[in-house]
Amino acid sequence: AVLVNGTATNIEDGQTVTIFITDVNGVNQQYTTTITNGTWSLGELDLSTFAEGELSFSVSGTDAAGNAAAADTQTFKDTISAISMQIQTNGDGILNSLEVNPATFGGVANDIEDGQPVEIIVRDEAGNRLIFNTTVQNGFFIIEDGDLSSLLDGDLTFTATSIDSFGNPAVATNTVTKDTAAVEITVEIDTVQDDTINAEEAPTVRISGTTDAENGQVVTVLLTDTAGNSITLTTTVINGKWMLENVDTRFLVDGGITAVASVENRAGNSGDATDTVLKDVLAEITLQLYDAPPD
């Protein structure tokens, strides 16, 4: 509400005053009041129905003798300011261990002038908070190097507040999930309990393990020998387990064979595990013949 009033000189008390208010769209409203002790007032007037922009006020009245008097003035109506709040999560709504530091977040500032301050408060579910400050530039605001690693995993609430040069406040809130926990995974090369791949086992080795990654997530296994030869294999998680069967290791040289299994969960967090066994497929036997001594 806006207080609308004025003064009247040489116009008697009780005389009528007429006020017209017109907005930029040509919409106008008429109001009337009377003079009391040389002043007039419409009290606190609701101008919410008028359009944003310039408002014109014109007032007129007459004294008892019929002499007319008029005045006019203009002011600017600006009651709109708005901001939005977005957090960069690569579209999944989750901040993983790679995205949490540095984190990028910001938004759009509508009807807020360049240079106006923006404060962003980020809170975790335990009430811990971090405060970031920036300014509006070309209708946008952004934090590109936010470190959110000190906040707890779970829901993070981002609240951005700003104000335009006319004093109109703007607030926006958004929530994402922070999930930075490493993925658990195990790997085992099946060697029938002797930790050695023999010639019979080499064409059909089984490699398996467990993980807390979700069903359908891809497990990648890199097999490497001591000569640097390697093979990459993939499978998927089913009910917390994964398996590769009939892995042909014959092209790998004898010696240590290392399997490195790695996986990402849906949040983008990764985990890996390693197992090493011995490959020994070579066996050698010799036969020597000696001449028998003469009788």
In a domain, residue 114? The reply is yes
Residue 132, domain member (yes or no): yes
Report the side by side order of strands in the sheet with 94-95. Answer: 94-95, 169-178, 154-163, 117-123, 129-135
125 C-beta neighbours (distance < 10 Å), count: 13
pLDDT tens digits, residue range 272-288? 999 999 999 876 666 77
| One domain for residues 197 and 257 | yes
Domain of 150, in residue numbers: 82-178
Residues 274 and 226 in one domain: yes
Per the prediction, the chain carries an average pLDDT of 94
For residue 81, is pLDDT > 80? Answer: yes
Q: Mean per-residue pLDDT for 49-62?
A: 92
204 and 170 belong to one structural domain: no
Q: Residue 26 maps to which CATH number?
A: 2.60.40.10
Band (79; pLDDT cuts 50, 70, 90): confident
Asked whether residue 89 falls in the same domain as residue 173, the answer is yes
Same-domain pairing of 21 and 65: yes
pLDDT exceeds 80 at position 46: yes
Please report whether residue 294 resides in a domain.
no
Q: Which of 90-94, 113-117, 188-192 has the highest mean pLDDT?
A: 113-117
Query: Is it the case that residue 203 has pLDDT exceeding 70?
Result: yes
The number of distinct structural domains making up the chain is 3
Alpha carbon distance 70, 57 (integer Å): 11
Assess if residue 293 is contained within a domain: no
Asked if the structure places residue 51 within a domain, the reply is yes
pLDDT at 202 over 70: yes
Output the 3-class SS for 234-276.
EEECECCEEEEEEECCCCCCCEEEEEEEEEECCCCCEEEEEEE
Give the lowest-confidence range in 68-72, 108-112, 201-205, 284-288. Answer: 284-288
- Identify whether 202 is part of a domain: yes
Tell me, what's the pLDDT at 193? 78
pLDDT for 60 beyond 80: yes
**Under 8 Å between Cβ of 151 and 178:** yes
Whether residue 289 is predicted with pLDDT greater than 90 in this model: the reply is no
Does residue 292 sit within a domain? no
Q: Which of 178, 194, 219 corresponds to the end of one domain?
A: 178
Please indicate, yes or no, if residue 6 is contained in any of the structural domains: yes
Q: Sorting pLDDT into bands at 50, 70 and 90, what band is 294?
A: low
